[in-house]
Amino acid sequence: MRMGLLGRMADGSRAEAAGLRWEDVDLEGRSLTLIGKGGKRRTCFFSDDTHRVLANLPRTVPVLGLKPSGLRQLLRRLSERAGVDISSHQLRRWSATHAWRNGMDLLSLSELLGHASVEQTRQYIKTDLTTLAKAHREHGPTL
């Protein structure tokens, strides 16, 4: 179950995910508080699927029960088993790009990722011609 939860926590960094405590989880509000660099706190939200996973975990153990290095090793083993090469940072970037392509504005995305600026978030996401063409059709001038 914890492996599935790891994949669902892509808003946070590996260190933030490893440091997650039960008192940082709000099941009713479907949110969690991550503590990042310099003790900076931010709120991230999770899906109904993640809610079901968290609701079924015992409260007597850490949420993920792994250190950052353990999370890195777990992700490496899972990616090898799946035949892909992916890191937690790539998963975080993929999640950000996916959210943006599905309509999340850059300011909200920047806040969720804990970035200091929207420019930092802009560099995180990947644009492609299909996404640019869609944006032009929906919001651009008629040329």
CATH of the domain at 49: 1.10.443.10
126 as an active site residue: the answer is: no
Helix (H, G, I), strand (E, B) or coil at 119: helix
27 falls in which pLDDT band (50, 70, 90)?
Answer: very high
Give the Cβ contact number of residue 63 at 10 Å. Answer: 20
User: What is the C-alpha to C-alpha distance for residues 41 and 133, in angstroms, rounded to an integer?
Assistant: 37
Residue 103 token pair: 């309509």
Which of 4-8, 71-75, 96-100 has the least mean pLDDT?
A: 4-8
Could you give the number of structural domains in the chain?
A: 1
Residue 142 has pLDDT above 90, yes or no: no
51 as an active site residue: the answer is: no
92 as an active site residue: the answer is: yes
The per-residue pLDDT of the chain, averaged, comes to 78
The partner residues of 33 in beta bridges, in order of sequence, read: 43
14 as an active site residue: the answer is: yes
9 falls in which pLDDT band (50, 70, 90)?
Answer: low
User: What is the C-alpha to C-alpha distance for residues 17 and 64, in angstroms, rounded to an integer?
Assistant: 8
Q: What local confidence, expressed as pLDDT, does residue 8 receive?
A: 47
Is pLDDT larger for residue 77 or for residue 5?
77
User: Which residue shows structure tokens 């079901």?
Assistant: 52
Supply the pTM of this predicted model: 0.60
User: What is the C-alpha to C-alpha distance for residues 33 and 114, in angstroms, rounded to an integer?
Assistant: 11
Give the structural domain span for 13.
2-139
> Catalytic one among 37, 77, 126, 136?
37
Residue 39 token pair: 């003790």
User: What is the C-alpha to C-alpha distance for residues 90 and 6, in angstroms, rounded to an integer?
Assistant: 13
> Catalytic one among 21, 40, 89, 136?
89
Helix (H, G, I), strand (E, B) or coil at 20: coil
Using alpha carbons only, how large is the chain's radius of gyration in Å? 17
